[in-house]
Amino acid sequence: MMPRAPGRVDDLHLAMRLITDAVEALPLQCRDLAGNALLNIAAEAVAQDVGCAEAGRIFARLAHFLSSGIQPAKGDAVALTGFDA
């Protein structure tokens, strides 16, 4: 596992809060599309950051969590790999 950069978890939580606020500020007719839009953006960013093979492993881990009923609250994060905060 890679060592975590100082402040990385705090930065992740800040980013999550800002994204949550931005989604809540969307027009009502767009809010139900926000999750899909964010998933597409996240998938592309993860693939660019770690490569497609590792991104596949990360998303497989996410699928495992979700199929097990584990879903983080908006203000929390589930650790998926050593690359995340």
Rounded to 10°, the helix 28-50/8-24 angle is 150
- Predicted confidence band at 4 (pLDDT cuts at 50, 70, 90)? low
Would you state the pLDDT for residue 47? 95
Q: How far is residue 76's CA from residue 18's CA, in Å, rounded to a whole number?
A: 13
Residue 23: CB atoms within 10 Å? 16
The 8-class DSSP code of residue 81 comes to: S
Provide the whole-model pTM.
0.65
5-63, pLDDT tens digit by residue?
667 778 888 888 899 999 999 999 998 899 899 989 999 999 999 999 999 998 998 88
